[in-house]
Chain A
Amino acid sequence: AQSVSQHNHHVILSEAASLELGCNYSYGGTVNLFWYVQYPGQHLQLLLKYFSGDPLVKGIKGFEAEFIKSKFSFNLRKPSVQWSDTAEYFCAVNSDNQGGKLIFGQGTELSVKP
């Protein structure tokens, strides 16, 4: 069965610090990978996604993620975080032969101190 693991449950950073959130998945076949963000009191929004091609994917708001197939990882990065990046971040995976349902990681709560 597919599973997604996010290692950091709560990350606290100061503004302008660099961010890297870890995500590992378990699945033997071809997967599609996503990062969603949930700002306080709001719904899940897509940050970026990877299907194929260049393993370095750029998303909105300066976020990027790198797919490393050999490590089954899809880590999220941002060079310089802002207070407005305070939110919960979810890594998710699905596969083309399983109907599109998303399997989410446990989420990482990011707190950015001004």
Chain B
Amino acid sequence: AAGVIQSPRHLIKEKRETATLKCYPIPRHDTVYWYQQGPGQDPQFLISFYEKMQSDKGSIPDRFSAQQFSDYHSELNMSSLELGDSALYFCASSPRLAGGKDTQYFGPGTRLTVL
């Protein structure tokens, strides 16, 4: 079965550079969630989209922005990168925004390292 695809899988950037992470949800899933997992930490919710509109926002820095496109894929744009942004970034998709009962299917994550 098709799964959530994230690219790139690994990314190395210098401080103050920008990065773009991409997420391709499971076909017919119209809801996308982004999470950040720091070393040894639990995943923290960043932002979510439903039908191409932002549906919720968590602890996402102002330096980050995201959007969902007409084909439902989503991109997380990160600017002025800081050492503390080094983390594993997960994307998850679900079939619809039904208040939370739908299972979120996670991608393999993008490991971002900021030097």
Residues of A within 8 A of B (CB): 32, 36, 42-46, 49, 51, 90, 94-107
Chain B interfacial positions (CB closer than 8 Å to A): 4, 31, 33, 35, 41-45, 48, 55-56, 58, 90, 92, 94, 97-109
In the complex, are the beta carbons of B108 and A99 less than 8 A apart?
no
* A–B pairs, 19, beta carbons within 8 Å: A36-B106, A44-B90, A44-B106, A45-B106, A46-B104, A51-B101, A90-B43, A94-B100, A96-B101, A98-B56, A99-B55, A99-B99, A100-B97, A100-B99, A100-B102, A103-B45, A104-B43, A104-B44, A106-B42
Complex-state Cα separation, A87 to B102, whole angstroms:
24
Q: Is A102 within 8 A of B56, CB to CB?
A: no
For the complex, would chain B's binding face be called helix, strand, loop or mixed by DSSP majority?
Answer: loop
Point out the residues of chain B lying under 8 angstroms from A96, CB to CB.
Answer: 99-101
A49→B98 CA distance, assembly (Å): 15
Instruction: Add 20 more A-B contacts to A100-B48, A100-B97 (CB < 8 A).
Output: A32-B100, A36-B106, A43-B4, A43-B107, A46-B105, A51-B101, A90-B42, A90-B43, A94-B100, A97-B99, A99-B55, A99-B97, A100-B31, A100-B56, A101-B33, A101-B48, A101-B58, A102-B45, A104-B42, A104-B44
Evaluate contact between A46 and B103: CB separation under 8 angstroms.
yes
Q: Looking at the complex, which one of B42, B90, B107 makes contact with A105 (CB distance below 8 Å)? A: B42
Complex partner residue of B108 from A36, A43, A46, A104, CB under 8 angstroms: A43
- Nearest-neighbour CB distance to chain A for B87, whole angstroms, equals 14
Say whether, besides A94-B100, A106-B41, A99 and B106 are in contact (CB < 8 Å).
Answer: no
Classify the interface of chain A: helix, strand, loop or mixed: mixed
Min CB–CB distance A26 → chain B (angstroms): 15
Contacts of A100 in B (CB 8 A): 31, 33, 48, 55-56, 94, 97-100, 102, 104
Asked if residues A101 and B56 are in contact (CB atoms below 8 Å), the reply is yes
B residues near A90, Cβ cutoff 8 Å: 42-43
Nearest CB of A to B52, in Å = 15
Decide if B109 touches A43 in the complex (CB within 8 Å): yes
